[in-house]
Amino acid sequence: MGGATFPEIEGGGSLILAWQVKNKKVLVVGGGEVAAGRILNLLNADAKVTLISPRDGLNPEVAYRVDHEQVEYHDKKFEPSDLDDPAITMVLTAIDDPEASSRVWKLCKEKRIAANIADVPPECDFYFGSVHRDGPLQIMVSTNGNGPKMANIVRRRIAATLPPNIGAAITKVGALRKKLRVLAPGDEQGPKRMKWMTKVCVQWTLEDLCEMSEQDMDDLLQSFGPDVVPSLEELKLGETPGQWQFDGSFGWACVI
């Protein structure tokens, strides 16, 4: 490899992923404050939540979710047979009984179901971090179970440095990407789409992206073929490849 250098391995971390649980069944055991936070995270991710907890153990927020039928609710204590449903993809427990929590953990291991046992890091296949949310933007800070409060402090510090309009800008970028896929479909166009979108994100400011209208998007897409990125001001003034005429292959263009 000659003089090549590579990153040093730093063990002890977690593989941080964005787990897609949309329309997937997740079982939550317990109905207290911790369960309330877990349920909110799951519902924000469009999961199908099944909750098992005696009614007298529900905190006000969890009771609200139950009363408004935002979760499938079973007013009882957990039983091993509750894990027999093959549709369950994940189990979260948030109960005050350590022995009962460990029993759930062992049952999940037997059935190969990913589980998180609140406040017991060794009995977790994954951890919940402190999350900042702004529209489509999500930033998670994890301490790998060492200090949840510190994760919250770090997350707040990071969030304070972000522009207030970054979520709206990302939403506009997502809409532009969808339009681009319609304009230039196919895997063969993939590399060019990625490079062109990168140029847009680098050359345009967050304010430009937020201000971009549907018409601006359509006008901007006219420059995909010749692989240029005009500024928003140029689009507004009509001073850009306006316009460009394509032969349909995105291989060349001429200016009129």
119 is catalytic: yes
Cα separations in angstroms, 4 against 1, 7, 11, 152 = 6, 10, 22, 38
Q: How many CB atoms lie within 10 A of CB 15?
A: 5
Residues 6+ apart with CB under 8 A from 90: 21, 24, 26, 27, 113, 114, 115, 116
* Residue 124 DSSP class: B
Q: How far apart are CA 180 and CA 41, in angstroms?
A: 31
The residue annotated as part of the active site, out of 119, 125, 208, 216, is 119
Q: In what order do the strands lie in the sheet with 114-117?
A: 72-74, 48-52, 25-29, 88-93, 114-117
Contact 16, 142 (CB under 8 A): yes
Torsion angle in degrees (nearest 10) through CA of 124, 156, 161, 143: -30
Alpha helices in the chain (DSSP H): 33-44, 60-67, 98-111, 148-160, 166-183, 190-203, 206-211, 214-221, 232-237
Residues 6+ apart with CB under 8 A from 81: none
Rg of the chain on CA atoms, in Å: 24
**Among all residues, which ones are annotated catalytic?**
119
